[in-house]
Amino acid sequence: MLKINNLHVKLEEEDKQILKGLSLEVPAGQVHAIMGPNGSGKSTLSYVLSGRDGYEVTEGEAHLDGESLLDMEPEERAAAGLFLAFQYPVEIPGVGNMTFLRTAVNAQRKARGETELSSGEFLKEVRAKAAELQISPDMLKRPVNVGFSGGEKKRNEILQMAMLAPRMCIMDETDSGLDVDAMRLVSEGVNALRSPDRSFLVITHYQRLLNHIQPDVVHIMSNGRIVKSGGPELALEVEENGYGDLLAEAG
């Protein structure tokens, strides 16, 4: 599914290398978690994969189902099946949440040469999926993320994920700012989407989220690289001992 090889990335504006030869492979159907201390480059990885401006790839490559991601525009990556759940979802005043969703869904369908959803089909689907995530009809009408609480914003990201049905989901600290109940809702939403042909890359600081979303593989990232990979027990180790020992061990 997702294959990243020796990725080197620097900031466009300043001469600062963030990713320094990162390699990673997420096979279809698997959930991989990336943990790591602040500043290790986790968010940069998610932005570079989804095509945000401001980064320069100096070396390496990233492929989604064999297609080179780095040559594509952000919207092409989305249509190819990549989705990023933002750490800080963006507010768009005046644009109804439902309008936004429908525009996105149909833009992707159009890009893939599929017929667009009719208004009836769309409404039916969005209402059902919103109900599962306990998103009120009112929240669907309100402008995108404007005045949403932290939990509402994250649930809204998962709703978008559910509606867009991507093959590769990247979640950037989706657990940050969530209370226990919201965390449970978000995790249930994600777990419901798990399937043999969909993969997840879950970026998080804490093991807590991984209690709800069971990863197949846990990667520890430090200083722009994956320094250690292992099973779910690796996350527990971090939770108990912090990153200190692991990083020292990785040298």
C-alpha–C-alpha distance, residues 131 and 231, integer Å: 33
Three-state DSSP class for residue 177: coil
With CB under 8 A as the contact rule, the residue among 106, 134, 211, 223 that binds another protein is 106
Angle at 177 between CA 173 and CA 182, to 5 degrees: 95
| Residue 78 in the binding site for another protein (CB under 8 A) | yes
Sheet holding 168-172, edge to edge: 82-85, 168-172, 199-203, 31-35, 217-222, 225-230
With CB under 8 A as the contact rule, the residue among 123, 165, 193, 250 that binds another protein is 123
> Which CB atom, from 94 or from 196, has the smaller least distance to another protein?
94
Candidate segments 22-30, 96-104, 189-197, 240-248, binder of another protein by CB under 8 A: 96-104
Closest distance of CB 181 from another protein, Å: 26
Site residue total, another protein (CB under 8 A): 42
List the structure tokens of 143: 């402008």
| Residue 204 in the binding site for another protein (CB under 8 A) | no
List the structure tokens of 38: 């602040």
Site string for another protein, 23-52 (x = CB under 8 A): ---------------------------xxx
With CB under 8 A as the contact rule, the residue among 75, 121, 179, 181 that binds another protein is 75
Closest distance of CB 231 from another protein, Å: 31
DSSP per-residue letters across 37-56: -TTSSHHHHHHHHHT-TTEE
C-alpha–C-alpha distance, residues 105 and 138, integer Å: 20
Candidate segments 7-15, 18-26, 70-78, 226-234, binder of another protein by CB under 8 A: 70-78
Strand intervals (E) in the chain = 2-11, 17-26, 31-35, 55-64, 67-68, 82-85, 92-96, 143-144, 168-172, 199-203, 217-222, 225-230
124-183 positions binding another protein, by CB under 8 A: 141, 143, 160, 164
For 64-73, the CB contacts below 8 A with 24+ separation are: 64/1, 64/2, 64/3, 64/167, 64/168, 65/1, 65/167
Specify whether the CB–CB gap between 193 and 161 falls below 8 A.
yes
| Residue 111 in the binding site for another protein (CB under 8 A) | yes
With CB under 8 A as the contact rule, the residue among 58, 103, 191, 241 that binds another protein is 103
Closest distance of CB 152 from another protein, Å: 16
Residues that bind another protein (CB under 8 A): 50-53, 73-75, 77-79, 83-84, 86, 89-96, 98-100, 102-108, 111, 116, 118-120, 122-123, 141, 143, 160, 164
